[in-house]
Chain A
Amino acid sequence: MSTETASLVPSYVVFQVGTRRVALARDAVAELIASPILFTFPHTSPLITGVVLRRGRIVPVLDLAPGLLGAASPPARLFLVVERQTLTFSERCAIPVQGECELVAGVMLPGEPSDHYVSGRLELNEEKIDVLDLEKAIAAGVKHVEDSMVPAEVLQ
C-alpha cells in the first residue's frame, strides 16, 4: 500500500472492555490515561462511576461494560478519553479499559444487524472486532442498568 493510499484508510483504536475487544474511530479518541484518581459522589446517572481531573478539567468516567457485557467493568488502570457527540452537547468522557490499546488502520465491514450499537466490523488477523457507535453503546448500557435497577437507586 502506498503512503498516499494508506493515509486514506481510516484508523481505529482497539481496546478491551471487560472481556470484549471493541474499537472506536480514531477521531473519537482523545488520549489514553493511566491510573487517574477517581472521585466519586452520589448521583443517579447510569454508567457514570465517577469523575477524573485531567489538566484542570472534570472528565466523567463512563463504563461501557453494562451495555456490551451485561455487567460492570472490573477495576481499571487505563482510561480511554473519548469525545461524546450527542444532539445537545459534546463532552470528553473517560472509558475504563482493560489491557493495552492498539491503533489500527482498516476498512470497516457491515456489522451484525442484531447489535444496534455496532457500526461495523474490523477484521484483524482473523479476529473480528466490533466498531462501536459510542452514543448507541452508552444508550444500551443505560437501558441495561435502568432495567436491572430498583426504583430510586443511587449510583456511586
Chain B
Amino acid sequence: MARVVVDVMPKPEILDPQGKAVLGALPRLGFDLVTDVRQGKRFELQVDGEITAEVLAEIEQVAETLLSNPVIEDFEVHVEEHSVAEVAHEAGRA
C-alpha cells in the first residue's frame, strides 16, 4: 500500500477568511513571529500496489475534478515516503 498526498490551497489572490482568523488569534496567544497564514486542505489517498505514472495521472484527475475547485484553489500531488517511525513500526511487526 502506498500513500499519495494531495495538498489543496486557496489561490494567492483569493481571500482566505479562515487563515485570517488564525492569524488574528496568534498575537493574542503571544506568538508574534508569524506574519501571514493561509489555510488549505490535505488529502491522504491510499493506493494498492506501485505508484506508477498512470496512477499519478489518475490522482491528478481526482484532484482536479473533485478535491479542488480550479477557480479558487491550486493543488499539488506528491507521493508520501514512509516516515522513519512507520518503517520502524512495520519492522517491529515483521
- The yes or no verdict on A and B being binding partners is no
